[in-house]
């Protein structure tokens, strides 16, 4: 029995996976949970996957949910990738974090404070931007008024 075998019962750690799939502060936890849940073709699992597909701010998580639903033979549509504001009001969050710091603060200080104040925003953009994240955020930060 290979790893790609799809089972029809709920996984033993279903409650744990369900929590992880909805963890706003960690796109990696959501992604890993979606991948693991993708091995179980069960109506409760499909509900979680549909929610992640429709609502996850990180496209990689949406793609994983989409692929699992297709693997189950379900009809599903991958939403268009959001280009700009992944989290509603994110720019206001960046401005608020910047204004909460001394005028001469460094980008690293901004990064640390953003992570502390709004881990959900930090995490979503980190998940979306991948390796480009810090470069992208530093550019955003330097353009904030």
What pLDDT, in 10s, does the model give residues 18-36? 999 998 889 999 999 999 9
Same domain (yes/no): 25, 52 = yes
Same domain, 94 and 67: no
Which pTM value belongs to this model? Answer: 0.78
Number of structural domains (the chain) is: 2
- Per the structure, the complete domain to which residue 34 belongs is given by 14-71
Q: Are residues 94 and 131 in the same domain?
A: yes
CA atoms within 13 A on the CB side of 97: 27
Q: Is residue 79 part of a domain?
A: no
Q: Assess if residue 83 is contained within a domain.
A: no
Tens digits of residue pLDDT in 105-134:
999 999 999 999 999 999 999 999 999 999
Q: Could you tell me if 67 and 114 lie in one domain?
A: no
Alpha-carbon gap, residue 145 to 92, rounded angstroms: 11
DSSP 3-state assignment of 22?
Answer: coil
What b/e sequence results for 116-125 when a residue is b if at least 16 CB atoms lie within 10 Å of its CB, and e otherwise?
Answer: eebebbbbbb
Instruction: Give the whole-angstrom CA distance, residue 37 versus residue 16.
Output: 11
């Amino acid at each position: 029995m290979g790893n790609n075998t799809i089972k029809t019962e709920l996984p033993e750690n279903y409650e744990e996976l369900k929590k992880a799939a909805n963890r706003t502060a960690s796109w990696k936890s959501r992604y890993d949970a979606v991948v693991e849940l993708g091995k179980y073709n069960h109506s409760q699992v499909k509900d979680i996957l549909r929610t992640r597909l429709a609502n996850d701010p990180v496209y990689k998580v949406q793609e994983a949910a989409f692929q699992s639903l297709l693997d189950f033979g379900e009809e599903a549509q991958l939403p268009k990738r959001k280009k700009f504001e992944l989290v509603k009001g994110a720019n206001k969050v960046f401005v608020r974090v910047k204004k909460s710091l001394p005028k001469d603060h460094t980008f690293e200080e901004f990064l640390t404070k953003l992570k502390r104040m709004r881990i959900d925003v930090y995490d979503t953009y980190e998940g979306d931007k991948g390796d480009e994240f810090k470069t992208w955020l530093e550019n955003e930060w330097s353009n904030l008024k």
